[in-house]
């Protein structure tokens, strides 16, 4: 009896000593993790940032991802700008892109998910990724364009990027010849249904290399390319190398987005005004109008995750909050030029849906 009491006392002491430590006690004997009486509650969300932004064709719905690295939590969701409705999605939404009718999202890995199902918060079967990179819809066909690994390799032996089109019947078509692959392809977009625009970095083709060298004094810049149907990529130098920064500045073009008809195009570019803190240059959102660039934001930061609605009325991007360095959602009205900081990040941190 005395031995049993000593054993019980030792267990109680160990339990008391262990309670403050997260994960010290496990519920492997008949308890699920949900019912475990020793499982500490998750800490309140005080950290976190937004990424992977996309906006619906009418500009009303924003898809996003939230990440709290401090406590290893992440989630994705939808935000209705008109009603204020906020919903956590039942699946992660990496690199999302809305379909032309706004009813579906294409996400990295070649998956297509239903927006109505995401609003419900119901679990979405994970499925297996069928392709490598970011996916977007080809208007009118239901096919999905993706950035995938090519057949060629860079000098370090890493595979280059190419563009592939995945039809609904499962047929796959490469849109770039092996000689035209790039070290990096990003920000793909369809214009007027069939023309493709994308940012290309470190092209394999010597002709593109020579052309880029003729436009800049620095190596390793990002350039905007256009891919006409059935043809080879064409670099569009006249847009991003005008009126912005000193000649030959490196890494000037960061991101771009374009409306469905190609009439409204926005960029994240390096601005002329250097930072007062460290003399590093800020980046801002610019709009292209008939070959001329107009600076749309003057926030003095480093925006990212730029997206624009299909109708060209609304652009969204993540802006860095000076006090924390986290990224929150900003909405840019392309008609008035007004930028609204939504405060979505604080809403997510205080919403019970995102507390686990």
DSSP notation for 84-141? --EEE-SS--SS-EE-TTSSEEEETTTEEEEHHHHHHT---------SSS-EEEPTTT
Look at the chain and count its residues. 356
Asked whether residue 190 carries a pLDDT value surpassing 80, the answer given is yes
Q: Look at residue 20 in the predicted model and tell me its pLDDT.
A: 43
> Buried (b) or exposed (e) across 275-291, using 16+ Cβ within 10 A?
eeeeeebbbbbbbbeee
Q: Look at residue 127 in the predicted model and tell me its pLDDT.
A: 55
Q: Look at residue 74 in the predicted model and tell me its pLDDT.
A: 82
Q: Look at residue 277 in the predicted model and tell me its pLDDT.
A: 53
Q: Look at residue 327 in the predicted model and tell me its pLDDT.
A: 95
Give 275's pLDDT tier (boundaries 50, 70, 90).
low
User: Is 169 inside a domain boundary?
Assistant: yes
Asked whether residue 79 carries a pLDDT value surpassing 90, the answer given is yes
User: Is 308 inside a domain boundary?
Assistant: yes
Query: What is the arithmetic mean of pLDDT over 191-215?
Result: 87
- CB–CB of 106/137 below 8 Å? yes
Residue 26, exposed/middle/buried by CB under 10 A (0-12, 13-18, 19+)? exposed
- What mean pLDDT value characterizes the chain? 80
Query: What is the arithmetic mean of pLDDT over 271-275?
Result: 66
pLDDT higher at 272 or 14: 272
User: Is 338 inside a domain boundary?
Assistant: yes
User: Is 280 inside a domain boundary?
Assistant: yes
Q: Look at residue 210 in the predicted model and tell me its pLDDT.
A: 85
Give 42's pLDDT tier (boundaries 50, 70, 90).
low
Best-predicted range by mean pLDDT among 197-206, 246-255, 326-335? 326-335
- Spacing of C-alpha 6 from chain mean position: 57
User: Is 99 inside a domain boundary?
Assistant: yes
267 has which bridge partners? 256, 286
pLDDT higher at 142 or 26: 142
User: Is 198 inside a domain boundary?
Assistant: yes
pTM over 0.85: no
Q: Look at residue 46 in the predicted model and tell me its pLDDT.
A: 57
- Of 52-61, 83-92, 263-272, 303-312, which gets the smallest average pLDDT? 263-272
Best-predicted range by mean pLDDT among 70-74, 228-232, 350-354? 228-232
Q: Look at residue 180 in the predicted model and tell me its pLDDT.
A: 96
User: Is 98 inside a domain boundary?
Assistant: yes
Structural domain tally of the chain? 1
Six-digit token pair at 15? 């339990």
Asked whether residue 3 carries a pLDDT value surpassing 60, the answer given is no
Domain that holds residue 100: 49-354
User: Is 25 inside a domain boundary?
Assistant: no
Asked whether residue 176 carries a pLDDT value surpassing 70, the answer given is yes
CATH number at residue 193: 2.120.10.70
């Amino acid at each position: 009896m005395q031995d049993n009491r000593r054993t019980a006392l030792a267990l109680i002491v160990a339990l008391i000593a262990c309670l403050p430590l997260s994960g010290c006690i496990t519920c492997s004997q008949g308890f699920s993790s949900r019912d475990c009486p020793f499982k500490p509650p998750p800490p309140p969300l005080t950290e976190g940032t937004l990424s992977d932004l996309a906006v619906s064709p009418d500009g009303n719905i924003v898809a996003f991802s939230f990440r709290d690295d401090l406590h290893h939590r992440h989630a994705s969701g939808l935000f209705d700008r008109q009603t204020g409705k906020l919903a956590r999605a039942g699946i992660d939404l990496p690199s999302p892109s809305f379909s032309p009718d706004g009813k579906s999202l294409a996400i990295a890995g070649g998956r297509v998910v239903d927006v109505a199902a995401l609003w419900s918060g119901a679990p979405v079967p994970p499925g297996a990724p069928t392709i490598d990179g970011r996916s977007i819809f080809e208007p009118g066909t239901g096919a999905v364009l993706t950035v995938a690994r090519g057949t060629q390799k860079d000098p370090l032996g890493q595979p280059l990027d190419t563009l592939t089109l995945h039809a609904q019947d499962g047929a796959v078509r490469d849109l770039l010849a092996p000689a035209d692959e790039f070290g990096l392809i990003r920000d793909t977009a369809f214009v007027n249904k069939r023309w493709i625009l994308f940012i290309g970095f470190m092209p394999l083709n010597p002709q593109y290399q020579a052309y880029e060298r003729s436009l800049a004094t620095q190596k390793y810049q990002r350039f905007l390319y256009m891919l006409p149907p059935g043809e080879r990529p064409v670099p569009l130098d006249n847009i991003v190398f005008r009126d912005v920064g000193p000649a030959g500045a490196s890494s000037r073009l960061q991101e771009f987005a374009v409306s469905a008809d190609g009439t409204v195009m926005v960029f994240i570019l390096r601005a002329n005004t250097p930072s007062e803190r460290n003399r590093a240059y800020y980046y801002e959102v610019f709009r292209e109008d008939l070959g001329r660039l107009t600076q749309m934001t003057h926030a003095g930061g480093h925006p990212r995750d730029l997206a624009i609605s299909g109708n060209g009325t609304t652009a969204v991007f993540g802006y860095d909050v000076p006090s924390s360095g986290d990224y929150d959602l900003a909405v840019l009205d392309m008609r008035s030029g007004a930028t609204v900081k939504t405060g979505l990040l604080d809403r997510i941190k205080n919403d019970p849906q995102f507390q686990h």
